[in-house]
Amino acid sequence: MRWLVRAGLRDEADVRDRIYMTAMTTCFPGRRPDGAGDRRPSSAEVLLCAPWLDAVIALLAPRLIIPIGSLSLERFLPGRKLDEVIGWAYTAGGSALPGTPRAVPALLPLPHPSGQSRWLNDPARVALLDRALLRLAALIEWADSAP
């Protein structure tokens, strides 16, 4: 929530009013065998839920999609790594957006904010996140300006 507030949303209530959030799977995958958090859904589980997610996206027709973490990154920008994409915006087809989007939806990936993720332990990656949040602020303004 703090990242989204840094990107221009007022507070958590504003985030929850304006952003539809969903997981890549509709079912709880269960705990990890060692009990340290939730188990990552398998590729098969993600594939089983893909038609549901596709239908939700078609129904909502969002101007902006924010894939969070590597699991959603693989769904929306397959084959890309977080280090390559954080701080940049993309078309739904995977092309980089140098400026204002001309087609929807625009994609702006973010790292997963989980405490289990160690991705943000590197200061260079924190700088990528800062750049992503600046870009997100501009994309929120763009999305809000839709007719």
Q: Quick one: average pLDDT of 21-50?
A: 89
Least confident of 28-37, 45-54, 74-83: 28-37
CA–CA separation, 71 and 59 (whole Å): 22
First to last CA, the chain: 27
pLDDT of residue 3: 95
Whether the pLDDT of residue 125 is over 90: the answer is yes
The residue behind tokens 């989980």 is 114
Structure tokens at 42: 């398998």
- What pLDDT score does 114 carry? 84
Domains of the chain by residue range = 63-147
| pLDDT band, very low/low/confident/very high, at 102 (cuts 50, 70, 90) | confident
pLDDT band per the 50, 70, 90 thresholds, residue 103: confident
User: Is 147's pLDDT higher than 80?
Assistant: no
**pLDDT-based confidence at residue 136 (cuts at 50, 70, 90):** very high
